[in-house]
Structure formats: structure tokens, C-alpha cells
Structure 1
Amino acid sequence: MRASASVLTIFASLLAVPCAAQEAGVALTDAPAAGAAEARFVTWDNDSWFETDRYYTNGIQFSSRTTEDARGDFTRRWTGAACRWLGCGDARFLFSQHSVGQLMVTPSDITIPVPQPFDRPYAGLLYVERSWLFIDQDEQAITTLSAQAGVTGKLSLAEPAQKLFHRIFDRPEPQGWDHQVGNTLAVLVSAERRSAWPSLSGALLGDIRLHTAGHWRLAVGNLMSYAAGGVTFTLGKNLPPVSPAPPGIANRAAPVDTACRLRWIQCTVTLGAEVRGMAYNMFLQGRPWRDDPEVRPRRWVGDLTAGLRMDFPTTRGSDHGPWFAQLRVTRRSGEFRAPVNVPRHTIGSLTLGVEF
């Protein structure tokens, strides 16, 4: 009980961080400033939907997104300098996002109490993250700058969180958390550029359109370092030329019409692929110069994703906009090498949120 209380206390404290960190001093429960739009949502990742309990097995993230530009002088300087270098110097501010979350990874068999040198190590992360998005003047490209900081090891509370979840739902108790990647402050800074591909976009059927966008991403930190590239196909109505990564079409100029056949639901479908060249991954290789469990990583990892976002316009209230839900499935290639078979892995994701 003390462990579960600690989890709740830490999460309650971290949920207040984005509010306190806003330079404008506006709490999440306050009404947005005139002309500003907000969205709040929670995302839950889990592989148990596909009858597995291994590798990246669970993640939860609470997020708040606002179109109000509340950056302070320091943030404006470094995001401006980064944008000049990345080719988005003339882009306009789109929105910022504040998130807090926890994730955990485990080996294939969590009932083994001894170290498993040929399987993925236990590891957890408790983190806060801030992102700033900028859209080019022609609305053909979006640049995302993100900074994440968190703690790993026992400080991440991944062990008590997983044990509590398994106890509640009568699942096998994890036995190997004594052999997890140890405590450290983990940081990650990333930049992503997502651009519309007009030559592969156009009308499909009636006013349903296909929009294609390519992206690249660079991430550097002691948590992981990698370079990535990919493509996303979006199907729907009234789509912008390019939109941020899921959970939504956040920069649409007009309400998204429905590709579904029911008036009370609006649908947008996304299909994507990404390849990452991994230079370092703490969750696989452990902390440098520490006696952590580790496996030999694969340098190239690929994801295939399929997502369905559903907006519910009839749920609009007097003090909030419509609710939305998004389902996403990710099929990931093997991330490490071992003498035994390392299978591909499938993760399900559910996002629930509301716009203001």
C-alpha cells in the first residue's frame, strides 16, 4: 500500500509541473486566454491487447496542449535559434504541449527471478516533457522541438506500478525487477520536421482525400540517441496539407467532416512507417560504465502503424469542445540480438481527450 500511495503522490506532483512551468502562470483548470484553444488527453499503451507481456509493455501519458504562445525569453531564444538552423525560421507558432508519463519495459518471461542475459532488461522511466510546434507560412511543413527529463531505475516507480496492476487484475507477479537498469537522471532532446508530399496527395472518393507526409527526426540524450525517417498517409475530409503526429489533426482550418457513415462521429485514418538508426538506447545497453543488465542492440529498427481517430461532435458542452478517441496499433521489428529468437512486437494504444 505504501508503494501504491507513493505512485499516486509522485504522479499528482508531476501533474502540477506543466502548470507551474508555464511562463504565463495559467493553471490547467483555468479558462484559456481569448483566442487560445486547448486540448487535454491521456494516452495508454499496452501490449496485453495482443496477448503478450514483454518488451515495451506499458506506458501512460497525460498531456495538455495549447495554442497560446506562453514561451519565456530563454525558450524563445533557443527555439528560434533551432528553427533557423532547421529551416523553419519564418514559421509561426502552432501550439505547445506539456506531458507527464511513465513507461516500462520487461523481458519475455516476467516470472523468472534471476538475471536473463539473452532477453530485454527490466527498465522504467518517469518523465516530464515539453514540446513546441511551428508551422511554415505555406502550411506545408511542421517542425517539432521537444525536451524530456525523467528518472530511471527504482525512482521511476515502474516496479510497484506493474506489481499493483498485476495484483488488481490477477496476473502473474513480476519477479525480476531487482535486475533493472539503475537510477539516473535521463534527458532527451529531439527535433522533427514533417513535410507534405503534394505529389502523393489528392482526392480518393468524393470529398475523401489522401494526404501524404514524410518526416525525419533527430534525438540526442543519455536516454537514447537516434536518427529516424518515415512516411504517414492520412485519409479523411477537410484535411490540412500536413498535420502533427497522432493523436490528432490539430491544425485543421475547418471542422473535420466525417469519412464514417454516421453523423455523430467524425473519422480520420492514419497509416505510417518509420525506420530508426539507433546509436544508443539505455533501455537495452544500460547506463554507461555501470553494472547494468544489457543486451546487444540492433542498429536499425522499424515500425508500421495504423490509427483511427474518432471525433464526437455531439459531445460538445458549454465549457468544452468535443471529445475524441484514437486507437493506434504499432508493429515493431526486433530491437536486440540474442542466441534465441527475438520476435517482432505489437503494441496497442488508446488516447482519450477533449478540446476547448
Structure 2
Amino acid sequence: MLAVTVTFGLWFAQTPAFAEETDPVLRDREDERGTYSFVLENDKFAGKDDGYTNGVRISWLSPETDIPDWIDEGADYVPFFSHQGRRRYGFSLGQTMYAPDDLTVKQLQDDDRPYAGFLFGSVGILSDTGYRLDNLQLTLGVVGPASLAAETQDFVHHSLDTTDPQGWDNQLHNEPGFILTYERKWRGIYEFSPFGLAMDMTPHLGASLGNIHTHITTGATARIGFDLPADYGPPLIQPSLPGSDFFAPSRKLGGYLFAGVEGRAVLHNIFLDGNTFRDSHSVDKKPFVGGIQVGVALTYGDARLAYTHLFRTKEFDGQDSADEFGAITLSYRF
């Protein structure tokens, strides 16, 4: 999978569609709209309640015309950023949680993944040429009881009158965490006549460094539909396949179907390896993880609504089944 997706990325990067001098988005005008986004990921959409069980993120992304000079000038020193791209900066807040298969067991389950949560905030800057997106993001947060994951799951399960999770006393210890992430995506559009359909393929490469996640990733996403907006697919929570918070539709109503694949070489994952500075529950992680996603997105005016269904291969030795979950994303331009 890694070899295939890298080949896609190199091939698309060499096509004329990715040359900045032919970029109509870059040469026409700046986008004066910012974007609010909300992402909810949950395995209940797949009829499960284990593994990566829930994630939520809210974010704000600036307009291209409203970036402070000191941020814009600072981005010139970021390696690999295009000096000619349109730039945005943004903030996000979120929480993710992980749990073993059997929530009714109070004792530590040595052969299953640890209970864990991550409460985080992120700041980032991106550069978009219309055909190439560079994204640099710093995430800071906390793992352990301070993440409030136990309270969140208890509240949700009590509200829905479902299984009361018993094992959060065994969760990872409190630990501050950081992730520095860099991603690059390439995008090419191909028109179909006479039906008015369009298709694009977006390969990506990326890497994350930190005591939460350290990995290298590659993959590609394909879309087909009407009025493919100037975006890179619906946003998801790391480490899922990347999308983009912003979008710029050219007509009032549009929509597309999409599918993507990803391969990830995992050097460190605190949710499997356990705490960095203290002894804690841990399992033997797998060094390579793959993922597939399929979904649909609709745009109407300044709103985009999308549903993504994701499948992820087993992440640790002894895992009973692969992870499967769904994601609902809602973005609004203002």
C-alpha cells in the first residue's frame, strides 16, 4: 500500500495541473471567507463500542485576507511551504478516547488496549496554491484523567442508557502531550462531458512527531461529483486521512462521493505504548497500519455536510478485530 500511494503522489506531482503558473485559484482572487467546522467520530456508527470509540473537534480557520503580517512572514521560513500560496491560520479544540472491547470488566485487561483519553488544542497554518496544500500544525494537550475522557464516556453512556464502563481506573496516567504535524497534498481535476461531472485525485504525504504520535503516512483520496469545491475533502481527526476545513463552492448546490486509502509507519503511539515517563498499561503495537475510507459530502450555499465511514487495520498484537467507525462533519463559511 505504501509503494502504491507514493507512486500516485509522484505521478500526480508531475502532471501540468499541479504547476503553480497554471493555477486559476491563485491568480484570480483571495477567498474572503473563514470557516467553522465540527467533527464527530464514533464507533457506534459502525455498531461497535471499543477501540477508538469517540472523537470530537471544533475548529476555526481564518479567511485568506485576514492573516496577520507576522504570521504570513513567519510562514516564509517554513521549509517546503509555497511562497506563492494563499495562506490561512486556525485554531481547534478536541477530545479523543480509547477503550478495550469489554467495558464491563473492572480489572486491568492486559491483552487489550488501555483505557485512554486525549484533550487537546491545536494551532496551525496552511498554504494553498489551489492544486497543492501544505499544512503545519502544533497540537498540545493532556492524556490521562485530566483529559476528562472517563467523565465524558460515563455521561454519554448514562444518557443513552447503555453499558456503564467499569475500567477507567486503569487508564493511562496524566501526561502532557504534543504533536508537530506536517502534511502535503496534491490535487488534480478532470472534467467529464456531457454529464457535468468532475473527478479529482489527491495524494498526500505527511509526518507527525511527538510523545502522542510519531509516524510517517502516505495515501490518496479520489472524489467524483458535481461542483467539486476548492477543498481537499472533509476534515477528520488525526491520525485519520487528512482533509481540509475550508471549501470554496462555485455554485449553490453541489456534492461528491469519495474514497481513500492510507498507509502509516508507526514509530510511537502513546495510546498503545503507554505513558512515556511512568509505567502504565501497554500492548505491542504493529509497526504498519492501513486505512480505507468512503463517504459522501453535500454543499449548499456556505454549508458543507459530510459522512465518512472508516476502516482501520489491527493496530496491536492480539487485537480481536480491526477498528471501524463513522464521522459526521459540518463546516460553515462566514
Q: TM-score, normalised by structure 2?
A: 0.82
Following TM superposition, by how much is the alpha carbon of 1:256 offset from its aligned partner in structure 2, in angstroms? 6.4
> What is the CA RMSD across the aligned residues, in angstroms?
2.2
Alignment map for 1:115-194 (pairs within 5 Å): 115-136=108-129, 139-194=130-185
1:101 maps to which of 75, 81, 94: 94
Aligned pair in 2 of structure 1 residues 48, 273: CA closer, same or farther (>3 Å)? same
State the 4+ residue runs in structure 1 displaced beyond 4 angstroms: 75-78
Instruction: Quote the residue 2:322 is aligned against.
Output: 344
Aligned pair in 2 of structure 1 residues 245, 190: CA closer, same or farther (>3 Å)? farther
Q: Secondary structure at the match of 1:287?
A: coil
**Structure 2: runs of 5+ lacking an equivalent:** 1-29, 236-243
Alignment map for 1:207-246 (pairs within 5 Å): 207-239=196-228, 243-246=231-234
Following TM superposition, by how much is the alpha carbon of 1:77 offset from its aligned partner in structure 2, in angstroms? 5.4
Q: Secondary structure at the match of 2:77?
A: helix
2: distance between equivalents of 1:163 and 1:349? 21
Instruction: Quote the residue 1:36 is aligned against.
Output: 32
Kindly tell me the number of residue pairs found equivalent between the two proteins. 296
1: distance between equivalents of 2:152 and 2:284? 27
Aligned pair in 2 of structure 1 residues 249, 115: CA closer, same or farther (>3 Å)? closer
1: distance between equivalents of 2:68 and 2:320? 44
1: distance between equivalents of 2:115 and 2:158? 18
**Structure 1: runs of 5+ lacking an equivalent:** 1-33, 258-265, 314-321
Alignment map for 1:1-356 (pairs within 5 Å): 36-67=32-63, 68-71=65-68, 73=70, 75-76=71-72, 78-82=74-78, 85-86=79-80, 88-136=81-129, 139-197=130-188, 201-203=190-192, 206-239=195-228, 243-247=231-235, 250-252=246-248, 254-255=250-251, 257=253, 266-313=254-301, 322-338=302-318, 341-356=319-334
Following TM superposition, by how much is the alpha carbon of 1:107 offset from its aligned partner in structure 2, in angstroms? 0.5
Aligned pair in 2 of structure 1 residues 215, 109: CA closer, same or farther (>3 Å)? same
Contact 2:35 2:245 in 1 (8 A): no
Amino acid at match of 1:132: I
The Cα offsets for residues 197-240 of structure 1, whole Å up to 9 and x where unpaired, read as 56xx4427621011111100111011110000001101123436
Q: Percent identity?
A: 25
Following TM superposition, by how much is the alpha carbon of 1:177 offset from its aligned partner in structure 2, in angstroms? 0.7
Give the structure, 1 or 2, with the largest relative contact order (CA under 8 Å, sep 6 or more).
2
2: distance between equivalents of 1:352 and 1:115? 37
Q: Secondary structure at the match of 1:115?
A: coil
2: distance between equivalents of 1:178 and 1:204? 59
Following TM superposition, by how much is the alpha carbon of 1:151 offset from its aligned partner in structure 2, in angstroms? 0.8
Contact 1:120 1:295 in 2 (8 A): yes
Aligned pair in 2 of structure 1 residues 156, 144: CA closer, same or farther (>3 Å)? same
Aligned pair in 2 of structure 1 residues 254, 323: CA closer, same or farther (>3 Å)? closer
Contact 2:245 2:331 in 1 (8 A): no
Aligned pair in 2 of structure 1 residues 70, 345: CA closer, same or farther (>3 Å)? same
Q: TM-score, normalised by structure 1?
A: 0.77
1: distance between equivalents of 2:153 and 2:100? 13
Q: Secondary structure at the match of 1:337?
A: coil
Aligned pair in 2 of structure 1 residues 142, 173: CA closer, same or farther (>3 Å)? same
Following TM superposition, by how much is the alpha carbon of 1:277 offset from its aligned partner in structure 2, in angstroms? 0.4
Aligned pair in 2 of structure 1 residues 165, 245: CA closer, same or farther (>3 Å)? same
